[in-house]
């Protein structure tokens, strides 16, 4: 078992977690997880269903606060600031740590309004021109501009699944966050749409710290530079993606990677 979170890091981590425990009522979902997330890399969380990878991801922007009966212990920091400190403004935190969900969830509004939602909330645009620029650049960065530029006033829910998910990514990056959390962003998409999202993740790498939860090991191997393997609520192994997939240290990791269970 490799519990040393600093392995492989040569820069200051963007987010750090130390001894995090999560409970849903009486049930413990996450046990003593410590991990560092780097700003330059795409970090993948892999593991079998119910291993706690999504739960842990949702701790990073405090989305577990919205679940009744969820309780988080331990320390999670963003640039050295305690995320769960009483002085931390959840609204500000979520503006800095964006999220993309498993199922595309565009709002039942126009494409333009979907992207403008965050900037409006946080007052990022001073004029209509500002907003147009923000929307355009977010859609461009999400690789959706060419498909969307002539239909900005159409409903976001009228797009295809893959386009909807890219719209959700555009929505998340429109507020220029520092970290983007992706919770199985391709699990509801077909292979072609999945490939487009994976390309997009690669293009966004370096600009944002990206953490992606996936149950698809090939996807983790393709898009990430760091991989963390979760099992039964614990972090079993965390290392460079290449090492995890070619030379796993823990038996459980090896068994999972080679398809013994999962």
Nearest Cα neighbor of 47 from 201, 240, 234 is: 234
Calculate the CA dihedral of residues 93, 56, 77, 42 and round it to 10 degrees.
-90
Determine the interface stretch with other proteins among 138-146, 169-177, 191-199, 210-218 (rule: CB under 8 A).
Answer: 169-177
To other proteins, the closest distance from the beta carbon of 101 in angstroms equals: 6
Rounded CA-CA distance 235/230 in Å is 5
68 binds other proteins (CB under 8 A): yes
13 binds other proteins (CB under 8 A): no
What are 238's strand-pairing partners? Answer: 228
How many residues does this entry show for the chain?
262
| CB closer to other proteins out of 97 and 244 | 97
117 binds other proteins (CB under 8 A): yes
Report the phi/psi class of residue 239: left, alpha or beta, with left for phi > 0 and alpha for psi in -120 to 50.
beta
105 binds other proteins (CB under 8 A): yes
- Determine which residue in the list 18, 75, 122, 205 makes contact with other proteins, applying CB under 8 A: 122
Assess contact for 215 and 131: CB atoms under 8 A.
no
210-239: which residues touch other proteins (CB under 8 A)? none
Q: Which residues bind other proteins (CB under 8 A)?
A: 61, 63, 66, 68, 90-95, 98-99, 101, 103, 105-109, 117-118, 121-122, 168, 171-172, 175
């Amino acid at each position: 078992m490799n519990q040393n979170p600093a392995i492989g890091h040569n820069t200051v981590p963007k987010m750090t977690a130390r001894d995090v425990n999560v409970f849903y009522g009486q049930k413990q979902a996450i046990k003593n997880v410590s991990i560092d997330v780097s700003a330059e890399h795409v970090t993948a969380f892999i593991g079998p269903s119910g291993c706690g990878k999504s739960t842990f991801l949702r701790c990073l922007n405090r989305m577990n606060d919205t679940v009744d009966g969820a309780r988080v212990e331990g320390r999670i920091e963003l640039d050295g600031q305690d995320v769960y400190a009483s002085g931390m403004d959840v609204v500000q935190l979520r503006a800095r740590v964006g999220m993309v969900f498993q199922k595309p969830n565009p709002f039942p509004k126009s494409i333009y309004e979907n992207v403008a939602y965050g900037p409006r909330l946080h007052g990022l645009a001073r004029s209509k021109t500002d907003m147009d620029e923000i929307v355009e650049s977010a859609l461009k960065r999400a690789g959706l501009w060419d498909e969307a530029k002539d239909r900005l006033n159409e409903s976001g829910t009228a797009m295809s699944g893959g386009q909807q998910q890219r719209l959700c990514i555009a929505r998340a990056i429109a507020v220029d966050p520092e970290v983007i959390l992706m919770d199985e962003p391709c699990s509801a998409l077909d292979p072609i749409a999945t490939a487009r999202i994976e390309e997009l993740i690669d293009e966004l790498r370096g600009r944002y710290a990206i953490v992606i939860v996936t149950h698809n090991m090939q996807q983790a191997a393709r898009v990430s530079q760091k991989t963390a393997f979760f099992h039964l609520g614990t972090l079993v192994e965390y290392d460079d993606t290449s090492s995890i997939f070619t030379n796993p240290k823990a038996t459980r990791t090896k068994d999972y990677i080679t398809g013994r269970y999962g």
